[in-house]
Amino acid sequence: LQIESAEILLVRLPLKFRFETSFGVQTEKLIPLLVLRGGGLEGVSEGTMEFAPMYREETIAGALHLLREVFLPRVLGRTFANPEALHDALGSFRGNRMARAMVEMAAWDLWARTLNVPLGTLLGGRKEQVEVGVSLGIQADEAATVDAVRRHVEQGYRRIKLKIKPGWDVQPVAATRDAFPDIKLTVDANSAYTLADAGRLAALDAYGLTYIEQPLAWDDLVDHAELQRRLATPLCLDESVASAQDARKGLALGAGGVINVKVSRVGGHAEARRVHDIAQAFGAPVWCGGMLESGIGRAHNIHLSTLPNFTLPGDTSSASRYWAQDVINEPLEAHDGLMPVPQGPGTGVTLNREFVEGVAELQEEHRP
């Protein structure tokens, strides 16, 4: 695994829908992309940190600084035995896992292309398609919520996740459950509640949710464990699992029964696979979360989802839901709630150079 040069690109894509969560409203996405080159091939990754630290603590500006000044200088011009060895070369740095994941994920793509195998196969996955659901932002009212749910149920999505916040939780859930008694339904609070809201959250037990995602603080496990003791519905940890060790601690504490694995949040594919394995050892199902990715991050997510303990539908829905024009050449479209795993080596997708270079707000080369 030879890392000869790197390229950083930054693109801004308008979202097709307004995405409201408990922490804000998104109408566009600023997306850093990293290309690693070696042996005549290239691997590509996407950063999922945001402009402002709203979801977790990382930011795009911070990631660009670390890539330029710290992480890329550690890997450029070097040869590694495999992506795990490259991961270890960045292993002594604290935190900043989304930024480190950009390097690690591009390296996995490059390595899989070098070995001429699909990334999912290299990770140990065996599925040819993966089950997907959708994550729906907060809507104006109950009627709009039920409308949005209906559109996506009709498209075949296997699970509907509703974003909730204090003051808008039981209402959308009750309306949706009333209209669709049998769908797999979940909610995601993105850390908007505290233990003082346990009564309100316990009211959700009446609606047969598959899980309640990240109700409490983004860096908490202990209060989640206390809340889990008061609820029948399993909690699903998202924000507060940044590593396999966090997953072990959370599951050992009883902080939840399900884990949302975001490859970028935990620092890359190697760590994501460890989270998957630990959850499996605890008998806890996992699913692949999304961060409104372009086709690059989406393809990485789909490949990761081929591992066996990804037994709940992920958030990796059709790219065409999000973008009028994606950054890749290939479509990533689910049919009947099943997303085909892109065939071909690596992620199986390729950058649309003409489009990306046309809209890039930043494009820079890095060499040893």
Q: Which residues are catalytic?
A: 163, 262
Q: C-alpha angle with apex 302: 117 to 286, nearest 5 degrees?
A: 120
Q: Which does 347 bind (CB under 5 to 8 A by kind): Mg ion, ligand OSB, none?
A: none
| 210 vs 350, beta carbon nearer Mg ion | 210
Contact call for residue 295 and ligand OSB (CB under 6 A) = no
Cβ-Cβ contacts under 8 Å for 47 (sequence gap 6 or more): 31, 32, 33, 34, 60, 63, 98, 99, 101, 102, 264
Q: Is 238 in the site for ligand OSB (CB under 6 A)?
A: yes
CA 318 to chain centre: 14
Task: Please report whether residue 58 would count as binding ligand OSB according to CB under 6 A.
Answer: no
CB of 21 to ligand OSB, least distance (A): 6
Complete DSSP assignment for 270-339: HHHHHHHHHHHHTT--EEE---S--HHHHHHHHHHTTSTTB-S-BS---GGGT-SS-SBSS----BTTEE
Task: Based on the shown chain and the rule CB under 6 A, indicate whether residue 337 belongs to the binding site for ligand OSB.
Answer: no
Q: Select from 139, 145, 186, 190 the one that contacts ligand OSB (CB under 6 A).
A: 190
User: What minimum distance in Å lies between the beta carbon of 134 and ligand OSB?
Assistant: 7
Report long-range pairs for 354-360 (Cβ below 8 Å, ≥24 apart): 355/325, 355/327, 356/9, 356/11, 356/33, 356/327, 357/9, 359/11, 359/12, 359/13, 360/9, 360/10, 360/11
191 sits near ligand OSB (criterion: CB under 6 A): no
**Residues between 127 and 156 with contacts to ligand OSB, criterion CB under 6 A:** 135
Phi, psi of 222 (to 5 degrees): -65, -50
Q: Which is nearer to ligand OSB, 38 or 314 (CB)?
A: 314
Helix or strand run (H / E) with residue 258: strand 258-261
Using CB under 6 A as the binding rule, whether residue 215 contacts ligand OSB is answered as no
Phi, psi (deg, nearest 5) at residue 195: -60, -25
Number of residues lying near ligand OSB (CB under 6 A): 10
Residue 145 interacts with which of ligand OSB, Mg ion, none, CB < 5 to 8 Å by class: none
Nearer to ligand OSB, 55 or 108 (CB): 55
Residue 315 interface partner, choices ligand OSB, Mg ion, none, CB cut-off 5-8 Å depending on type: ligand OSB
**DSSP bridge partners of 214:** none
Distance separating alpha carbons of residues 237 and 228, to the nearest angstrom: 11
Least Cβ distance, residue 287 to Mg ion (angstroms): 11
Q: Which two tokens stand for residue 6?
A: 């790197």
Q: Return the residue nearest ligand OSB (CB atom).
A: 290
- Selection from Mg ion, ligand OSB, none that 314 binds (CB < 5 to 8 A by kind) is none
Does position 20 interact with ligand OSB (CB under 6 A)? The reply is no
Tokens of 341: 């795993």
Run of H or E including 83: helix 83-89
Segment near ligand OSB (CB under 6 A), from 92-100, 121-129, 146-154, 284-292? 284-292
| Binder of ligand OSB out of 120, 215, 256, 290 (CB under 6 A) | 290
Would you tell me which residues interact with ligand OSB (CB under 6 A)? 55, 135, 188, 190, 238, 289-292, 315
